[in-house]
Amino acid sequence: MDERIARHPPATGGTIVTDVWTAPFWEAAARRELVLPRCAVCGTYRMPPTPFCPNCHSQSIDWIPHDGTAVLYSYTIVDRVLIDGMEGSLPYVPAIVEFPHAQGIRLITNMVDCPIGALRVDAPVDLIWIEPEPGTALPAFTLSRQQREHD
């Protein structure tokens, strides 16, 4: 098994730019709170947040706090420098997680702080917060403790 620990992604993504529809997600993230957008009229979750509910076209959104319970939907392992600034971050693991308690919407994120070789599609994962720059926070995920003990 690849025992190396998945590291935090490089801070090459630049500044997070928001608009009126996406700002609540990132403002909550800065407070280390995960909130997911749900249509206030018909209750359909959508991700990323967009101006209209694709189901009923309402523009009202409830931002629902989420405990971060998720499953690993897919991932890739980056172990090679492609651009400057990646050198200190290898290996890192861009990933997609799915929220079963939020109608299965997904977030593009990172798996961190767990052995690369223990990663499995559909594994339960837990939310943790990472700091690409001091004073910022981004949601990331790690294999759930339950999963690690099972392995």
Q: Footprint of other proteins on this chain (CB under 8 A)?
A: 9-10, 12-19, 21-22, 26, 46-48, 54, 73-80, 82-83, 86, 89, 92, 94-96, 105-110, 121-122, 132, 138
Closest distance between other proteins and the C-beta of residue 99, in Å? 11
Q: Is 13 or 65 the residue whose CB approaches other proteins more closely?
A: 13
Q: Is 54 or 135 the residue whose CB approaches other proteins more closely?
A: 54
Q: Is 2 or 62 the residue whose CB approaches other proteins more closely?
A: 2
Closest distance between other proteins and the C-beta of residue 148, in Å? 20
Which residues face 124 on adjacent strands?
Answer: 71
Closest distance between other proteins and the C-beta of residue 39, in Å? 15
Q: For tokens 């403790």, name the residue.
A: 145
Task: Give the sign of the dihedral formed by CA 105, CA 13, CA 30, CA 27.
Answer: negative
Q: Give CA–CA dist 38/77, Å, rounded.
A: 31
Q: Is 41 or 86 the residue whose CB approaches other proteins more closely?
A: 86
CA 60 to each of CA 22, 44, 47, 55, 105: distance values in angstroms, whole numbers, following the listed order: 13, 11, 14, 12, 18
CA 148 to each of CA 1, 6, 39, 67, 74: distance values in angstroms, whole numbers, following the listed order: 14, 14, 35, 19, 18
Closest distance between other proteins and the C-beta of residue 44, in Å? 12
